[in-house]
Structure 1
Amino acid sequence: MKLSEQVKPISYLKAHAAEIIRQQKDNSQPLVITLHGEAKAILQDVGQYEETQETLALLNVLALTNRQVEEGKLRPAAESFARIRKRLADSQS
């Protein structure tokens, strides 16, 4: 379904809140809520919201990693694994 088909005025939300919330559970598309003809809010199923937040977190990690690579802040894998093994050995003794 197109996002343009998922636009409702706030008056519709007020009159049909329970129905809209039930529909959002089965609908992966967010609902755009307008006020005076202008988009003001998004209504989204909580599961879909959580997935979106997880995706954003992963993208942030990826961006940070790319930045660190560009800045030359990286080590060879063998060196990294050796440091991890040393930490584990130190913590067990």
Structure 2
Amino acid sequence: MNLSQDIKPISYLKAKTADVINSVNDTQRTVIITQNGEAKAVVQDIKSYENMKNSLNLLKLIVQSENDIEKDDIVKQDEMFDNLEQKLFG
């Protein structure tokens, strides 16, 4: 990964917006946009963004599950399946 190629000033984005978007979609590499020498934004293709959001949601579920286990707020597997069968099949 050559990060220096993926860092562009905001003036570059203003002048070459279509090129940046096409490049991001073709390479699936994010582009970091700087303003006054500081990183301010990231341009990313939609598929990579969706994958990142899905990954974050999974991590949140794992953390919630770990918290439930620590609090002993759990349901045994057999009991969960019995409850589910009752709800589905009466």
**TM-score (normalised: structure 1):** 0.89
2:8 counterpart SS class: strand
Partner of 1:59: 59
Q: Deviations over 1:50-80 (max 9, x none)?
A: 1111111111111111111111011211111
Partner of 1:23: 23
5 Å-filtered alignment, 1:25-44, equals 25-44=25-44
**TM-score (normalised: structure 2):** 0.92
- TM-align CA RMSD: 1.1
> Separation in 1 of the partners of 2:85 and 2:54?
30
Deviation at 1:16, TM superposition (A): 1.0
With over 3 angstroms needed to count, the CA separation of the structure-2 counterparts of 1:57 and 1:37, relative to structure 1, is same
Partner of 1:47: 47
Partner of 2:85: 85
Identity of aligned residues (%): 36
Q: Deviations over 1:27-71 (max 9, x none)?
A: 222111000001100000111111111111111111111111111
1:29 counterpart SS class: coil
